[in-house]
Amino acid sequence: MGSYNYYKMFGCFNRKFKISEAEAPPDVREAFRLYAEGGTHMRADQVLRFLVEHQGEDGCTAADVDVIMQNVFHHRHSSDKRLGLTLEDFFYFLFQDHLNGPLNNQVHHDMTAPLQHYFIYTGHNSYLTGNQLSSDCSEIPIIKALENGVRGIELDLWPNSTKDNVHVLHGRTLTTPVPLVKCLKSIKEHAFVKSPYPVIITLEDHLTPDLQAKVAEMVKQIFGEMLYCRESDCLDEFPSPEALKHKIILSTKPPKEYLGSNNNKDGETSSPKDKDSTDDEPEADDKSDSDDEESDQQKSGNLGASEYKRLIAIHAGNTKHVGLRRSLRTKIDRFKRLSVSEQGLEKAAELYTTDVVRFTQKNILRVYPKGTRVTSSNFRPINGWMHGAQMVAFNMQGYGKSLWMMHGVFRANGGCGYFKKPDLLMMRGPNDEVFDPKLPLPVRKTLKVLVYMGDGWRLDFSHTHFDSYSPPDFYTKVYIVGVPVDAAKRKTRIIEDDWAPCWDEEFTFPLRVPELALLRIEVREYDRSEKDDFGGQTCFPVSELRTGIRAIPLYDKKGNKYKSVRLLMRFLFE
């Protein structure tokens, strides 16, 4: 190797390990100077004034400040507690997301409104470990979902091979089954580990009446007093999440008669058309070839399934017999939850938007991924939320940008799995008009986002992860996701060869419907010859952002939080 090339490579290699501590940005220095009143230390009363005036934390108390300062002193042993925080202490505090994060980490929404007033953290085919066609079925994904705060669990119920018990699996695929009893016991044990608010189990029922009766006994025995049962058959209003704390709720289509084993979502009989069909025209039922030989079960099993029907607290249905628009417009007395595929929602949103919004003011709408998403990918959840859909059902094992948005929304409100819908989705005007996300609206609020700097990659990644011979070249992308007119994206410049990049760039986002806007952030490492490397991501509901200078934790592609990687940013509303 020539001496020049050897020197160049060796020099770059050395630069990679030359890591200096991140320094406070100018705005942090100025805030310290202002609130420390020109002194070298910031006293507790001055920290409190900073939090109230600069950070907008009106409810902050002296006790809160004491917790912050004790935490800082504990981790920075060189500080003199008697004098207060130094500039370095102050910068340390601002960069700790558990002390100065962008979200309120407590449940703070009103939880006493009826259930349909909330977006609900909902899973699709919650038992699958991987793809929709050949992965294993297991209780493990259910446990993981519940421990992450998911409140809606979907189980597909099928007879086992001997027709005498119930399995959970994705029917007509190569997925391996898991016994229903194992899933139910796992739900009982883990339902309220993360959140005390109700868990809704949506059942895709492909069972005979005899097996439905068996499920009823199984459910009563396992859940006992945890199981919520309606007091009357006519439910005028859903109870609130607060009233349903520590309750398990079953939701499916109540059985009326035996319809064979070829059933659709929520217990409907399927047709020769696509399982996810939501066409407006009624479809003919597809009788199963086994109907004749199972006629005896039909006669004897209907009585046994009556208890199963009684345990279904949220009656469900789909649109197959009357069409989607009529289902949305007709006063519902048979059921209170409607399921549609993502294509069904897209069609309804395009042709009769306000019918969807009006429906979701009184009833629950569940939207599930289309059947062609065999790799367990997901659609953009904002499409459901902006039309009021409470249960946007996601493949929790299907990683990607859509799932990052879902994670971000349900980290808010204390991660309890319920997020109160904005008032605009629940209101009606003097002429019965409701919100229409397609209508042009004036700018109602402006969000200013300042990206100061980032740090922590040097601790969470190997020194050669991004580049073999030099420090990484990071940049940050900032997106607004919401109603179409609010969508926007910005990007910082690339900072070359720096493990702690300082961008100090501000972006302005005018918002027409800030209540439905999400702020999505992604860090990339620039690569001249290949695809840019991933350096972390996060997402927040704009309405939940705490103003001021904040530490922003970043997450990996699967949604796991990095131990050290963070951004320092500032949020301001005008």
Catalytic residues: 124, 170
Q: Other CB atoms closer than 10 Å to residue 417's CB: what's the count?
A: 27
Write the CA distances from 252 to 68, 324, 366, 569, integer angstroms.
Answer: 48, 18, 12, 45
Alpha-carbon distance of 346 to 44, in angstroms, equals: 54
Terminal Cα-to-Cα distance of the chain (whole angstroms)? 59
Q: Find the helix or strand (DSSP H, E) in which 93 lies.
A: helix 87-94
CB 139 within 8 A of CB 186: yes
Q: Which residues of 246-256 are buried (b: 16+ CB within 10 A; e: fewer)?
A: ebbbbbbbbbe
Strand 178-179 relative to strand 199-205, pairing: unpaired
Q: What is the 3-state secondary structure (H, E, C) of 507-539?
A: EEEEECCHHHCEEEEEEEECCCCCCCEEEEEEE
- Amino acid identity of residue 27, one-letter, is D
Q: How many helices (H) and strands (E) does the chain have?
A: 17, 20
Under 8 Å CB-to-CB from 249, ≥6 apart: which residues? 198, 199, 200, 201, 228, 313, 314
Whether the CA torsion 181, 186, 189, 191 is positive or negative: it is: negative
Q: Find the helix or strand (DSSP H, E) in which 572 lies.
A: strand 561-573
- Amino acid identity of residue 236, one-letter, is D
- Amino acid identity of residue 200, one-letter, is I
Which token pair is 461? 């990644």
Alpha-carbon distance of 11 to 498, in angstroms, equals: 15
CB 151 within 8 A of CB 122: yes
